[in-house]
Amino acid sequence: MDTASANDFDIRDYLRVELLPHFMCPGCGHGIALRALLWAVHDLKLAKDRLAIVSGIGCSGRVGAYIDANTFHVTHGRPLAFATGLALARPDLEVIVITGDGDCLAIGGNHLIHACRRNLHLTCLMFNNEIYGMTGGQVSPTTADDRLTTTTPYGNAEPSFDACALAAAAGASFVGRGMTLQTVALKNLIRDAISHRGFSFVEVISDCTEIFGRKNDLGSSPEMILRQKGSMKPDTYGNVVDRPFRPNAVQTGVLARNDRPEYGDAYRAAVLGAAGAAVAG
């Protein structure tokens, strides 16, 4: 347990407390994911004025509005597009995207693969609850086989995406997966993702207790979160969990990492080079 940093972290220092109570259902995993993010921000001693949160539409995107920093709640599927413009125009900001599995992989899937390829310095946190929570529980690109949703009343027949494998294949220079079950490990993963220079993608295994949990008879919210124990392998931080549940959640921790050139630096160097050539010419 990270007691030193836990002891001096008070989440209320990072929230717009005047907006409370929040909208989330009891037991929703997104609240734990939000806590892990703000704890990582605290560990990194990031000034609120330097922090920009861009979020899409969904229960996941909605949590961004509670953060006491520069926040942008933008159109569905487009937070990476907005964040790209912001990070390029304001490299002094630390830009973090909060998105859902539907927001990021369905309507926003094209933006994701190009953000991975481009490698602009951004951190993308995808809260994966396997469903479109906000709109009443439709199937998403990460819904596991046979799961019941409002649009798959007989069980999901589509194979799901492994979002981390997709991000790594598209060129993301930092890829990781964490669970709301393991808040400290998740906080450390998010901290490392923010610190990485380039495009970082983190899948956060979260739970929609109210819709996904009820529809699939997954029990109470504590029972549901315990089901996240899904890996036969130790994660890259050395934690071992023991029973498969979600097919894609087989490994947590840092899954891919490299130090290839960051897009903003390369772009500014190209502009300066062209300006220098014009003066010399």
Ligand X SMILES: Cc1ncc(C[n+]2csc(CCOP(=O)(O)OP(=O)(O)O)c2C)c(N)n1
Binding site for ligand X (CB under 6 A): 57-60, 76, 100-103, 127, 129, 131-135, 140
Find out whether 99 and 107 touch, Cβ atoms under 8 Å.
no
Using alpha carbons, select from 173, 203, 168, 207 the residue that is nearest to residue 189.
Answer: 203
The torsion angle over the Cα atoms of residues 187, 256, 46 and 86, rounded to 10 degrees, is: -130
DSSP codes joined into one string, 188-242: HHHHHHHHSSSEEEEEEE---IIIIIHHTT--SHHHHHHTT---SSB-TTS-B--
Residues 6 or more apart from 275 whose CB is under 8 A from it? Answer: none
CB 8, min distance to ligand SF4, A: 29
- Which residue, 129 or 216, has its beta carbon nearer to Mg ion? 129
User: Per rule CB under 5 A, is residue 141 in the interface with Mg ion?
Assistant: no
Among 56, 100, 141, 230, the residue binding Mg ion under the rule CB under 5 A is 100
Which position has the token pair 């347990």?
A: 1
Applying CB under 5 A, which part among 64-72, 98-106, 235-243, 266-274 lies near Mg ion? 98-106
Residues at the contact surface with ligand SF4, assessed by CB under 6 A: 24-25, 28, 30, 59, 129, 133-134, 208-211
Which residue, 185 or 208, is less far from ligand X as judged by CB?
Answer: 208
d(CA 234, CA 253): 9
Residue placing its CB nearer to Mg ion in the complex, 129 or 200: 129
Minimal distance, residue 31 CB to ligand SF4, in Å: 8
Q: Which is nearer to ligand X, 63 or 69 (CB)?
A: 63
- What's the sign of the alpha-carbon dihedral 75, 178, 227, 64? negative
d(CA 179, CA 128): 9
> Cβ closer to ligand SF4: 101 or 192?
101
Which of the choices ligand SF4, ligand X, Mg ion, none does residue 68 contact, using the CB cut-off of 5 to 8 A by kind?
Answer: none
Q: Is 99 in the site for Mg ion (CB under 5 A)?
A: no
> If you ran DSSP here, which 8-state letter would residue 152 be given?
B
Determine the interface stretch with Mg ion among 49-57, 101-109, 149-157, 242-250 (rule: CB under 5 A): 101-109
* CA-based nearest residue to 59, from 130, 108, 164: 130
Q: How far is the CB of 26 from ligand SF4 (least distance, A)?
A: 8
| 122/254 with CB nearer ligand X | 122
CB of 245 to ligand SF4, least distance (A): 18
Structure-block tokens of residue 230: 């899904």
CB of 151: closest distance to Mg ion in angstroms? 13
